[in-house]
Structure 1
Amino acid sequence: MSNLFADLPNALPEELVSVLVENGGVRIERIVSNGQNSPEGFWYDQAEAEWVVVLQGEALLQFEDQPSVRMKPGDFIDIPAHQKHRVEWTVPDQPTVWLAVFYGAPIRSA
């Protein structure tokens, strides 16, 4: 058994990403941010969809050609595959804990 709030660092040079479960076409990650944001001009453009919830802290997600979305504890969003997005801001004075579920990746043939 594990706890999503265990071992939260007080300061991070970069986001901390831990894969909790990976099975078939699904991957679940715990992401911890502490004031981090995406580099200027960088956009995530993922082959899989991402359902993400903020469990603690706050963040601002920016989507290409769409308004930014402020996320607080309990807020979740489903990001379709190839929807360009970036983390514009995370609260700097406490860890922001995200739970991200990636799904629907193309199946690779052997």
Structure 2
Amino acid sequence: MKNIAENMPADLSREHFLDLLNTPNVRIERIVSRGHSSPETGWYDQDEDEWVMVLQGEGTLAFADGRVVTLNNGDFIHIPAHCRHRVSHTHPDDMTVWLAVFFSPAG
């Protein structure tokens, strides 16, 4: 058994991504941010659905359709495949820990 809080990166000069599980059908990733955001032109347009939860901290997602969603501890969202989005804000002084699950869209 492992713990998601193990081996947190000490250097957060850049965002840290760690695959916790990677199979042909699903990928689970821990993302650690501090003050990071996607570039203004850095939209994610993924082939997979994504379910993401903030385990610690705060993060704001912006969507190409104009929606803005702020997630705090325990908040989660489902992002369908090809729903263009980006991280517009994470807190600059506190660590944000995301849990992202990527899977094939139903259908």
Q: TM-score, normalised by structure 1?
A: 0.89
Give secondary structure in 2 for the equivalent of 1:7: coil
The residue number in structure 1 matching 2:102 is 102
Contact 1:61 1:69 in 2 (8 A): yes
The residue number in structure 2 matching 1:47 is 47
Q: Provide the aligned length of Structure 1 versus Structure 2.
A: 105
The residue number in structure 1 matching 2:29 is 29
Give secondary structure in 2 for the equivalent of 1:29: strand
Displacement of 1:46 after TM fit?
A: 0.3
Give secondary structure in 2 for the equivalent of 1:37: coil
Displacement of 1:7 after TM fit?
A: 2.3
Q: TM-score, normalised by structure 2?
A: 0.92
Q: Distance in 1 between matches of 2:17 and 2:10?
A: 15
What is the identity percentage for the equivalent residue pairs of Structure 1 and Structure 2?
Answer: 53
Contact 2:49 2:80 in 1 (8 A): yes
Displacement of 1:8 after TM fit?
A: 2.0
The residue number in structure 2 matching 1:18 is 18
Contact 1:49 1:81 in 2 (8 A): yes
Displacement of 1:10 after TM fit?
A: 4.6
Contact 2:19 2:28 in 1 (8 A): yes
Structure 2: gaps (5+ residues): none
- CA RMSD across the alignment: 1.2
Contact 2:9 2:16 in 1 (8 A): no
Q: Distance in 2 between matches of 1:67 and 1:50?
A: 17
Give secondary structure in 1 for the equivalent of 2:37: coil
Displacement of 1:70 after TM fit?
A: 0.5
Q: Distance in 2 between matches of 1:52 and 1:28?
A: 10
Structure 1: gaps (5+ residues): 106-110
Q: Distance in 1 between matches of 2:51 and 2:28?
A: 9
Matched, 1:57 2:57: yes
Give secondary structure in 2 for the equivalent of 1:24: coil
